Amino acid sequence: MIILVQLLGVVTVLMFVASALTYAFNRHLGTDLFKRSLLLLVVLAVGPNLIRSVFAEIPTPVLILLIPLASLVAYWLLETRAKPIRHRSGSSVSHAERKPKIPHQGQSEDGES
């Protein structure tokens, strides 16, 4: 766990450096990258201690029951909510509908009369 936190810390520092260099050329992208690296730094500072204290308060038998239950609930949510989106016929979404081009009555297919 310590190695993972240290690795994420190195990634955060690299993101800060990248955001500083990016800010010189593109202010919007540099600011966005800085915000993301700051969020990662806050998660690294608070996250491990918060997780450790939460798991210390929950009894072990409850944890053994909660982990498979959470897995089943996540599977159920993914299966029930992952329905394909159907577009209405009157919607503004462009479809690849083609109308056949029929030659006029006096013309052949070559376009000659």
- pLDDT tens, position by position, 1-55: 678 878 888 988 899 999 999 999 999 999 999 999 898 888 888 888 888 898 8
Task: Judge whether 87 lies within some domain.
Answer: no
Does 26 map to a domain?
A: yes
Confirm whether 103 is domain-assigned: no
Instruction: Please report whether residue 72 resides in a domain.
Output: yes
Domain that includes residue 41, residue range: 2-80
Q: Per the domain annotation, does 112 fall within a domain?
A: no
Is the residue at 101 inside a domain?
A: no
Show Cβ contacts of residue 87 under 8 Å, excluding neighbours closer than 6 positions. Answer: 93, 95
Residue 28 domain flag: yes
Q: Is residue 100 part of a domain?
A: no
Q: Give the pTM.
A: 0.47
Check if the beta carbon of residue 29 is closer than 8 Å to that of residue 22.
yes
